[in-house]
Amino acid sequence: MRNLLFPIICLSFLITQFASAAPNIVWIIGEDASPNLSCYGEETIETPRLDGLAQEGVRFENAFVTCPVCSPSRSAMVTGMYQTTLGAHNHRSQREDGKGGGNEDYYESYKLPVKSIPDLFKEAGYATYNVGWEAGGKTKPGKTDYNFIWDPAMYDSG
């Protein structure tokens, strides 16, 4: 029994260390993508990379949004809160071109009452990136019209 004690202690230590390691997280938001992905049964359009991620990760089959347009949905995704709770429920209401429906002054001065999800990830030791794409496969910063003032430091890059 004494000969087994040391290996059991070592194994316990290794299991504890392995269990406490932070998981890798890749959070992909596909805007205006529709359900036309082969991992959801689409037979015409092939999406092998996304299918691989869906097979190994989490795939949502019964998800809903609380706003049917993109910028308020981004506001909700980046905070984990309803847009109406934040007062960020109007589409692109902080636009600088004056086409925001008359709410530009409000949204240009509105600061979040909560920490954003990227901020929380950074506090937990994760690197955060906001990357988009354009024709030709070139990357560019992802969309950031969240309908509130945000600190660019919430992303390490992008």
Span 114-133, pLDDT tens digits: 888 888 999 999 988 877 76
Exposed e or buried b for every residue in 10-21, given b needs 16+ CB within 10 A?
Answer: eeeeeeeeeeee
Of the chain, the percentage scoring pLDDT greater than 70 comes to 58
Q: Tell me, what's the pLDDT at 100?
A: 47
pTM: 0.60
Distance CA 146, CA 57 (A): 27
- Residue 24 pLDDT > 70, yes or no? yes
pLDDT-derived band at 28, boundaries 50, 70, 90: confident
* Rg, C-alpha atoms of the chain: 21
Within the chain, what is the greatest distance between any pair of CA atoms? 78
Taking residue 137's Cβ as centre, other Cβ atoms within 10 Å add up to: 6
Distance CA 152, CA 158 (A): 9
Catalytic residue (one of 10, 39, 67, 70): 70
Q: What are phi and psi of 127, to 5 degrees?
A: -90, 140
67 catalytically annotated: no
* Cα 115 off chain centre by: 14
